[in-house]
Amino acid sequence: MTIDGVHVWYVFSDEVRDPPLLERYAALMTREERARHDRFVFARDRHQFLVTRGVLRTLIGQYLQIDPAACAFESNRYGRPSLSGPAAATLGFNLSHTRGLIAYAMARVPEIGVDVEHVDRTAAGPDLARRFFSPSEADALDALAPPERPSRFFDYWTLKEAYIKARGLGLSLPLDSFSMQLDPAGPPRIAFTAPIDTDPESWQFAQFDPSPRHRLAVAVRRAGPDLPIRIRQIVPCV
């Protein structure tokens, strides 16, 4: 499988129930992954972890034309995963999961991030925005009519999380040190409110709604013009 631009894949994990497929995913996991899987208390969390790792390994195996079980990963000091060894130079990836949904982003560049959120979360609101968003984002949220605020909150939240994940710096990069600018006439843009060693024009963002309950955002740093971003649902089968 070849990749041009950015490929975004998503899977509704609760729909992946075929026993032979789940057994294949389990066989792909390393000893460490099995130990992580077994530490989850609830069956739903063990299931989502199994699907997350199985689909990730399957996708990367197809892109790199290798055995999915041979995929080797490492994490930086902030927990951001990447491929280890020479493969890291050929494929960048990121993943995110929330209740019932897993998303993956793949590109031939290293700085790529994806975030997905379930929009029924009751914690979303102006208090949380004032705590974690930049002043301009919080002000823009306050200026909306109350019924419009929850949806816009998740626009900001997913975009900011996707950017942070693409940078691979975790919350050492404060959420109020940059602002997302939303324009109905064009794609989201970023502006920095603190000295950050990166050109805002080098960043590209996109948002999608995989379902009425989910919001998904992608961030990618590219050297030239915008990359094509394609999103597709995975329907795993044996």
143: which residues sit within 8 A by CB, 6+ positions away? none
C-alpha gyration radius of the chain: 18
Could you give the CA distance from residue 166 to residue 216 in angstroms, rounded to a whole number?
14
Q: 128 pLDDT band (50/70/90 cuts)?
A: confident
Per-residue pLDDT reduced to its tens digit, 80-121: 999 998 888 899 999 999 999 999 999 999 999 999 999 986
pTM of the entire predicted model: 0.94
Q: What is the pLDDT of residue 195?
A: 65
Instruction: Say what the pLDDT of residue 238 is.
Output: 53
Q: What is the pLDDT confidence band of residue 197, given thresholds at 50, 70 and 90? A: low
Per-state percent for the chain, helix, strand, coil, to nearest 5: 40, 25, 30
- Tell me, what's the pLDDT at 194? 66
The yes-or-no verdict on residue 124 having pLDDT over 70 is: no
- Can you list the domains of the chain with their CATH numbers? 6-233 (3.90.470.20)
